[in-house]
Structure 1
Amino acid sequence: MQAEIVILGSGTSMGVPTLGCSCAVCTSADPRNRRMRPSIAVAWENRTVIIDTGPDFREQALRERIRHVDAVFYTHSHADHILGLDDLRPLSFAHRPGYLPLFADQPTAEILERIFEYTFSPDSQYPTRARVKLHRLEGHESAMIHGADFRRVPIMHGDLPVAGFRFGSAAYLTDMNSIPDSSLPLLEDLDVLILDALRPEYHPSHANIEEALRWVERVQPRRAWFTHMSHEIEHAETERTLPPHVRLAWDGLRIPFAL
């Protein structure tokens, strides 16, 4: 089954340009240096799955003309990955049948239910709340969405356990700096790997470029794209330093793969 990954956002929690900054990347005329908060869409046969709805989700969905969503998966509960949940409202109203399914692990689900209490509480009187239903997804569990299997891949974001996802011949690993040995079998025989590469320098909870390249070497995908990039990464200049099979993602990039 042929599909494509759409990079909705390839930036960090602060986005690029970063507020108050006048560095060369934040003031660059290259549109690839303009990065919204991290998120992707997986699209196939008139189906669309979203991974993370950050605070830029509305603009991302408008830009990519996303008019229907079949499911949403959440990697973890940080603000840059969840705060656009309310923008699912108009998409959920048209969802058939029933409620738009959301998938998250227990810690993430608890925070979603607390922040968006007016959405999830059975006592909510908010008449136009999102018509969504939250499902727990733990460990290496998977969910089948219209014939496509989305499997949770446990990874580490510093000391915080978070989720990546494997779907068909592709995997998405944002916000990470290590992959447990038990998760490596879930990443075998990848055509496409999209993973965190925050900046050139060390960071305690994100892979830097050097560390991301080491993970590419270990996982051995046929193609890799870096995401969750800060304003310390200039697109053209950085890409010239990378191996031919490793590129930098950019907002609006479409990556074909076999689902």
Structure 2
Amino acid sequence: MQAEIVILGSGTSMGVPTLGCDCRVCTSPDPRDARLRPSIAIQWPDHCVLIDTGPDFRVQVLRERIRHIDAVFYTHAHADHILGLDDLRPLSFGRPDKIPLYADNKTGEVLERVFDYTFSPDSPYPNKARVELHRIEGTEEAIIAGASFQRIPVQHGRIEIAGFRFGSAAYLTDMSSISDESIALLSGVEIVILDALRKEPHPSHANLPEALAWAEKIGARQAWFTHMSHDLPHEETNRELPPNMRLAYDGLRIPFEL
């Protein structure tokens, strides 16, 4: 079925503009240089699935006029990927079931601790988000409204986190390396979205040269880069890239087959 990936945010944990910075990207008039914290939505008729709910979640959902969410998948428990969870509240009210959230054990434990007032059965909070946490480990899949979402293990520095494959596309944010076994799970993807923090090396994120190499190895028809710092000016960087590889930007919509 036809679907779209919506780039809700393409920035780093600090976002762009970065607080206290007056560099040429943070002060750029190009709206594609303004990057909220990293997240995507996958939309197909009458359905919407999110990957991560960062601190900018409310603004992103208002911008894209998202009014219904079928499920949320979490890549890992860092602040820039989870802190918007509480803003699921109004989207969870008035529906017959709870919004399912999918996370691995470590991420789930952090969610339950940080949002204790949401998940604790003893919570006295009457207006907590109506959500239900499900564990997803290894290379397990979850089916949402007939669409399969498969967990793809990747490395984020010293920790394993989750990427996800859905149909002919995959989302691999915060990735510093990926095993051959995980690359095999991406066989046949047409669209891949990859971490590309900056040009210089980083201990827990792919830099742009590394992201280009991973994109080549994965072999997707199109590669889009995300989780970008203020070291990568949008237009200037795109001129240096192969024609099938581009920097993503907030609000970008990418059609694909789900």
Please tell me whether residue 172 in structure 1 is matched to residue 176 in structure 2.
Answer: no
Quote the residue 2:140 is aligned against.
141
Matches within 5 A, 1:149-168: 149-168=148-167
Paired AA for residue 231 in structure 1 = H
Distance 2:101 2:179 in 1: 25
Paired AA for residue 226 in structure 1 = F
3-state SS in 2 of match to 1:233? coil
Paired AA for residue 83 in structure 1 = L
Gaps of 5+ in 2: none
Distance 1:124 1:64 in 2: 32
Quote the residue 1:130 is aligned against.
129
Quote the residue 2:43 is aligned against.
43
Paired AA for residue 158 in structure 1 = G
Please tell me whether residue 78 in structure 1 is matched to residue 78 in structure 2.
Answer: yes
3-state SS in 2 of match to 1:36? coil
Q: Give how far 1:180 is off.
A: 1.3
Matches within 5 A, 1:54-133: 54-96=54-96, 98-133=97-132
| 8 A Cα contact 1:68 1:95, kept in partner | no
Quote the residue 2:211 is aligned against.
212
Residues 119-150 of structure 1 deviation map (CA, whole Å, 9 limit, x = unaligned): 00000010000000000000000100000000
| 8 A Cα contact 1:70 1:95, kept in partner | no
Paired AA for residue 157 in structure 1 = H
Distance 1:200 1:86 in 2: 34
3-state SS in 1 of match to 2:150? strand
Distance 1:77 1:235 in 2: 28
Quote the residue 1:243 is aligned against.
242
3-state SS in 1 of match to 2:134? strand
The normalised TM-score by structure 1 is 0.99
Quote the residue 1:9 is aligned against.
9
Q: Give how far 1:95 is off.
A: 3.0
Distance 2:227 2:109 in 1: 25
| 8 A Cα contact 1:42 1:49, kept in partner | yes
Q: Give how far 1:178 is off.
A: 0.4
Paired AA for residue 4 in structure 1 = E
Paired AA for residue 78 in structure 1 = H
3-state SS in 2 of match to 1:155? strand
Paired AA for residue 88 in structure 1 = L
Q: Give how far 1:237 is off.
A: 0.3
Paired AA for residue 38 in structure 1 = P
3-state SS in 1 of match to 2:35? coil
Q: Give how far 1:94 is off.
A: 3.0
How many positions carry a matched residue from both structures?
Answer: 258
3-state SS in 2 of match to 1:43? strand
Q: Which moved more, 1:184-193 or 1:249-258?
A: 184-193
Distance 1:91 1:53 in 2: 13
Q: Give how far 1:45 is off.
A: 1.1
User: What RMSD, in angstroms, separates the aligned Cα atoms of the two structures?
Assistant: 0.5
Q: Give how far 1:200 is off.
A: 0.5
3-state SS in 1 of match to 2:61? helix
The normalised TM-score by structure 2 is 0.99
Distance 2:124 2:189 in 1: 46
Distance 1:34 1:127 in 2: 37
Distance 2:166 2:236 in 1: 31
Gaps of 5+ in 1: none
3-state SS in 2 of match to 1:91? helix
